[in-house]
Structures are given as structure tokens and as C-alpha cells.
Copies of this chain bind each other. A is one copy, B any other.
Amino acid sequence: MNIILFEPEELSGDKLELTDRRARHIINILAAQPGDQLKVGRINGPTGRGTITKTTKNRVTLKISLDSTPPAQAVTDLILALPRPIMLKRILAQSAALGVDNIYLINSRRVEKSFFSASLLSRENIREYLLSGLEQATATRLPQVSIHPRFRPFVEDVVPIVSRACPVRLAAHPATTNLLPQVTPIPLRDKVLLAIGPEGGWLDYEIVKLREHGFKPFSMGARILRVETAVVALLAQLDLLRSVA
């Protein structure tokens, strides 16, 4: 936990009182004392410093001072064929850490149907994984996650709306020859909607549908990567394409 995150409504004036896992982290892991300063951030808002004014066994009180600059909006939206639960947990944390605006967890022929009933998909669990990523990265922008159990209605009805903000639409797909730099304007300036398929890849039918909605398929090369590795690799590569001259 490299930053202590809080919701706006937890703050009264400049006072933040914690009694949950954040308090335990400050007391037991950081062994922080009154007077110590910690990095803090308001979820979806600015970061700043929290000065500890009081600690008891289970409770920490901080005086909060926030910077004026709100965090930049993330510039990638992610469409992800729902991965197996244990992998989803790490993907959500890593996506939040690397910076993603919206995450659409969708169905695809090669997604196991049971994944959609996994308890990991509860709102609280998803939020917990995302927060762990933000707390690692010292970021505050909480990605918005939505779940879409049917492929075709998602692509036909949801994509046309959510893709308006994303001029660059990319679909990772092994069976193609173009690599990422061949389908992306460099330097990259616009928001990207990135679709990553399930283990085994999208079906041809699914790629046709994605193409119809403006997605350019690209290959990550001959190596077959786990979805988790592919998500981190692609978010990092898109980030890099924004900073090359």
C-alpha cells in the first residue's frame, strides 16, 4: 500500500479517521506515529499528504492536505474476454496500476460459461482488486468495470456507444500479420479501445464482428502469451507509443 486511498464522504473537513485494513496497515506494517506523513489520495481525485494526528490500537486519525491537480484521465479502455477467476484478479489489479479508464468483461465462444457465475465477479471483489492496484501504483483513478455475458449484443449495441470516445480500436489476434506499430498512429495521441481475447483467441466470427466496428486486428508475434501477460505487455506498449517522438 503505497498510498492511502479514501472516498470523498470519509473526509470531514480535513480530518480522515480510519478503522479498517488501512488503519491496520498504517499501525502494523508502517508502524507510523503521530506526526508522520503519508501519501494519500481521494478516489478519482487528487493526491496529497496525510499527517497522522492520533493512533490507537485500531484507529488512525489523519489531517489531510490535497494537491490542486486532479489526476489525468486514463487513455485506454479495455475489452477483455472474461478470463479465469484467479487470473482476473491479477489482471484487474495490474490494469488499475497501469491505468485504464473502462474495463468491459465480455463473453466469447472460448470463455468458460462458469466464469460468469464466479463469486470473484461481485462488485466488492472487483473493487478490492482494483483498489489494490491503485494502492500499489499510487494512483487514484478507479477503472469502471462492466460485465457483458453476451458477445453479439455487446459488440452491436454497446461498442457503437462506448467507442465514440476511442478513435483507435485494436484487437489482439494471433492469426494476423500486422504488429502493433503497423495498426497504431505514432506517436499515439487518441484514446484507445483495446480488445483482448480469451486463451485460444477470438473466433473468426468474433474478429469479423469486431472488424465491422472499426477494430484493427494485430498480432503480438509468434509467442503465445497468457492473457495476464498480454494485458500488461499491451498496456505498456500503448503507453510507450504515446511518448515516442
> Which A residues form the contact surface with B (CB < 8 A)?
2, 94, 97-99, 136-139, 179-181, 186, 221-226, 229, 232-237, 239-241, 243-245
Contact = CB atoms under 8 A, between A and B. Distances in A.
Contacts of A222: 138
Contact of A225 (B136, B223, B245): B136
Nearest to A96: B223
A243 B138 contact: no
Copies of this chain per assembly: 2
Name the residue in A179, A229, A245 with the highest tally of chain B Cβ atoms < 10 Å from its Cβ.
A229
Contacts of A2: 224
Contacts of A97: 223, 225-226, 229
Lowest 3 A-B CB distances belong to which pairs? Answer: A233-B236, A137-B223, A232-B232
Nearest to A236: B233
Contacts of A139: 223
